[in-house]
Structure 1
Amino acid sequence: MGEDGSVTSAPQRPDGPTPTPRLIATDLDGTLLRDDKSVSLRTVAALAAAEEAGIEVFFVTGRPARWMDVVSDHVHGHGLAICANGAAVVDLHAGREFVQVRALPRATALTVVETLRAAAPGTSFAVEMTTGINYEPLYPPFFQDPGAHVATAEKLLEEEADDTAAPVLKLLAHHAELAPDEFLALARSAAGAYAAITRSSPTALLEISGLGVSKASTLELCCAERGISPAEVVAFGDMPNDVEMLRWAGTSYAMGNAHPDVIAAASGRTVANNEDGVAVVIERILAERTAHQR
């Protein structure tokens, strides 16, 4: 980032100039949203201008579908969002209907629970399903989900474990004493062979999905359906759960407030979320596009 707060880019990747983007993929919390969870008027205008110019916008988030009200009013064209770190594709125009689900097998989730209990005693768990979230007694309560069922993870995962059971989107693991990155490294070492493990919270809260499920892999599937190549995608993010997506996209930006791993993964950097860093880049993309058309 320049001294004047302008956007700076890392050296151009060896595959040559980036073509005009066809899709913008942006994380929400810490990226598109300001810290108060609002979308600024400048960002709303930038998103609308991008879609008016024929560039699709995908919201790609760790949030569950039921927490997408923060951006539902700002969805234009396609209306699709990638939620739960790639475990679900949701149509925000159709009452947050699940278009695609990439579930975490319950048997795998139970193996991860057993493994992390042994590797990091004191870990508590929550289970995010298509029907909502349930959690253990010691897990920090979700005040946005007052109807959650409280029980051990083993019971939550084993009950109704038949063909009619709601798919598990992700497992959440919390530790009250370990540092966030320390917990992530420990969990990946102990259970990374069973599932995809990442984090997006400033606390020691891990998000665990099916093996191979990530924002990047689901975005890749959605882009392939549209004939969009990685080189035609511009991505934005700020936390470790964005790293794979930023590496996959032809052009990617770490926010000014981003985690060090995100800065290392991205091809460029913009200003912080509270300074409308996504809008800054979109405005520049559209200005360059207009200049080239003259």
Structure 2
Amino acid sequence: MVVTDMDGTLLNSNHDVSSKFFELFKDLKQQNIQFVAASGRPYYSIVEKLQPIKNDIIIVAENGGLIIKNENVLLSNKLNPNRLLELYKLVTNLENTYPIFCTKNQAFILRASDDLINTFSEYYSVYTIIDCFEEITDDIIKIALYHTTNSEAQIFPLVKHLKPELNVVVSGNHWVDISEAITNKGNALTFLQKQLNITPSETMVFGDYNNDLEMLKCAKYSYAMENAHPNVKAVADFETESNDNNGVELVLEQLITESRKH
């Protein structure tokens, strides 16, 4: 099984998947290697990026809050509804922080400028603009908090007290994500390994940010991108080229060459 994060990993800086990857995917499929896209992105956004192969892969969305295969939901971790109002009040009172309430099929964005909504729509292409909590109509899987400069320095210190009752993770330079305590990509990957009867020694993982740490620990072949956060490089066993230099594809080429020998 090959598992890769999306932003900063499989996607280049323009948020695109290379045509080379789609070519290599045919070989993975031929070799009977299961491909899993594991991202902080919502399900519908990952599907947009991997449209040509969406029926042949497993999607782990919202940092492990949702696992979907062929439109069948295998796992869904919703935030406890009894805590939502309290969380809503907390995150909407943080200065220079823009909360997005993520559900399976859409995002609910609290008042934001057109420029910001344009930025968000790269990740959350299906959204509703809201003015109050009552307008959120679906189960919330994750709250994503966006900061215009640095989420790790500016947002994380103000919400880290929510741990360990909730999972609070810096998932990108601009993003901090809040979800149920059990929600992370590692638990999602462990769930899939059990379901598919695939061991960690048969698993290869690629990642670049702190929301990838748990899943990197679930694989014998764990790769940090050259552009990865220092925490990721410390945990991963191997390193590959950056996301703009086809780091994932380079390793997959080697994997396919090796598996053809066996």
TM-score range, shorter chain: 0.7 to 0.9
What does residue 105 of structure 2 align with? Answer: 131
**Quick one: higher RCO (CA 8 Å, sep 6+), 1 or 2?**
1
Cα distance change of structure 1 residues 40 and 131 upon mapping to structure 2, 3 Å threshold = closer
Paired residues in the alignment total 255
Cα distance change of structure 1 residues 176 and 32 upon mapping to structure 2, 3 Å threshold = closer
What does residue 217 of structure 1 align with? Answer: 187
Q: Which amino acid aligns with 1:233?
A: T
Does the 8 Å CA contact 2:100/2:143 hold for their aligned counterparts?
yes
What does residue 83 of structure 2 align with? Answer: 108
Given the alignment, which residue of 18, 24, 44 partners 1:46? 24
What does residue 52 of structure 2 align with? Answer: 73
Whole-Å separation in 2 of the counterparts to 1:212 and 1:147 = 26
- Does residue 196 (structure 1) correspond to residue 174 (structure 2)? The answer is no
Q: Which has the higher helix share?
A: 2
What does residue 138 of structure 2 align with? Answer: 166
Percent identity, aligned pairs only, is: 22
Whole-Å separation in 1 of the counterparts to 2:60 and 2:127 = 24
In structure 1, runs of 5+ residues without a counterpart are 1-22, 158-164
Does the 8 Å CA contact 1:134/1:150 hold for their aligned counterparts?
yes
Root-mean-square deviation (CA), in Å?
2.4
In structure 2, runs of 5+ residues without a counterpart are none
Q: CA deviation at 1:75?
A: 4.0
What does residue 148 of structure 1 align with? Answer: 128
Whole-Å separation in 2 of the counterparts to 1:117 and 1:133 = 15
Does the 8 Å CA contact 1:112/1:194 hold for their aligned counterparts?
no
Structure number with larger C-alpha Rg: 1
Q: Which amino acid aligns with 1:169?
A: I
Cα distance change of structure 1 residues 137 and 41 upon mapping to structure 2, 3 Å threshold = closer
Whole-Å separation in 2 of the counterparts to 1:42 and 1:122 = 39
Does the 8 Å CA contact 1:24/1:234 hold for their aligned counterparts?
yes
TM value normalised by structure 2: 0.86
What does residue 84 of structure 1 align with? Answer: 62
Alignment of 1:1-294 (within 5 A): 23-67=1-45, 68-75=47-54, 77=56, 79-91=57-69, 93=70, 96-115=71-90, 120-138=94-112, 140-141=116-117, 142-143=120-121, 145=125, 147-152=127-132, 154-156=133-135, 166-176=138-148, 179-183=150-154, 185-187=156-158, 189-203=160-174, 205-291=175-261, 293=262
TM value normalised by structure 1: 0.78
Does the 8 Å CA contact 2:142/2:179 hold for their aligned counterparts?
yes
